[in-house]
Structure 1
Amino acid sequence: MTEQDHSAAIAVLNDACRAEPGAGWVMTQGVWALPEADRLKAFAAVTAFSDFSEDNDPHGERDFGAFEIASAKLLWKIDYYDLDLDKGSPDPADPAVTKRILTLMLAEEY
């Protein structure tokens, strides 16, 4: 598999992760402190996010995004772990050995 194919496979899996709020998603205390309506808007913004560019996605894996809700800047990031969540995944393109965790946070918490 070429590096480009590997990145494309990771991107497909990351898109699937983003499409399902709750499935491997975590959020920071700052996001939990937002009003419920704003949290719901943030979830929708993550699932609909498509503003990928060379600046925010240099490897083509679609694993990071930034947006604003009610004047709060939020970030989301997908990280790749082994199935026991002990260390990094040996191959993020292989769902049989990878657990994806999407973290949603306020930019000021980064």
Structure 2
Amino acid sequence: MTEDDHTAAIAALNDACRAEPGASWVLTVGVHTLPEAKLAQALEAVTAFSDFSEGNNPHGERDFGAFEVGGARLFWKIDYYDLDLCMASPDPADPAVTKRVLTLMLAHEY
């Protein structure tokens, strides 16, 4: 697999992780304190996020995003762990050895 193919595989897996809130998503305390309507908007903003640029996606993996909801600045990021969630994944392009965790946070919590 070429480096470009490897990066494209990681990006596709990250897009899939971001597409559906679920067990692989972690919401920080600050996000949990948002009013219900803003929280719903924030979750939707992550799943719909497509504003990737050189500034927020320098490696092409689509693993970070920033946006605003109701005046609140939020960040999301995806980290790659081994299947036991103990160490970094040995290969983020291989879902057989990688567990992705998306964290959604208020910008000031970063």
Please say whether Structure 1 and Structure 2 have the same fold, judged by a TM-score greater than 0.5. Answer: yes
Q: Percent identity?
A: 76
Provide the residue aligned with 1:15 in structure 2. 15
Q: Structure 2 CA distance, aligned partners of 1:36 and 1:74? A: 15
- Contiguous gaps of at least 5 residues in structure 1: none
Query: Given the alignment of the two structures, is residue 101 of structure 1 paired with residue 101 of structure 2, yes or no?
Result: yes
Provide the residue aligned with 1:68 in structure 2. 68
1:23 Cα deviation after fit: 3.6
Contact map agreement 1:17 1:23 (CA 8 A) in 2: no
Q: Structure 2 CA distance, aligned partners of 1:10 and 1:17? A: 10
Deviating 4+ runs (over 3 angstroms): none
| 1:61-99 deviation per Cα after TM superposition (whole angstroms, max 9, x unaligned) | 000000000100000000000000000000000000000
| 1:39-63 deviation per Cα after TM superposition (whole angstroms, max 9, x unaligned) | 0000000000000011110111000
Provide the residue aligned with 1:43 in structure 2. 43
- The AA in structure 2 aligned to 1:13 is L
1:4 Cα deviation after fit: 1.1
| 1:11-43 deviation per Cα after TM superposition (whole angstroms, max 9, x unaligned) | 000000000101400010000000011000000
Q: TM-score, normalised by structure 1?
A: 0.98
Provide the residue aligned with 2:52 in structure 1. 52
Q: Structure 2 CA distance, aligned partners of 1:11 and 1:106? A: 23
Q: TM-score, normalised by structure 2?
A: 0.98
Q: Structure 1 CA distance, aligned partners of 2:66 and 2:103? A: 12
Number of corresponding residues: 110
Instruction: Give the root-mean-square deviation of aligned CA atoms.
Output: 0.6
- Contiguous gaps of at least 5 residues in structure 2: none
Q: Structure 2 CA distance, aligned partners of 1:66 and 1:23? A: 21
- The AA in structure 2 aligned to 1:76 is W
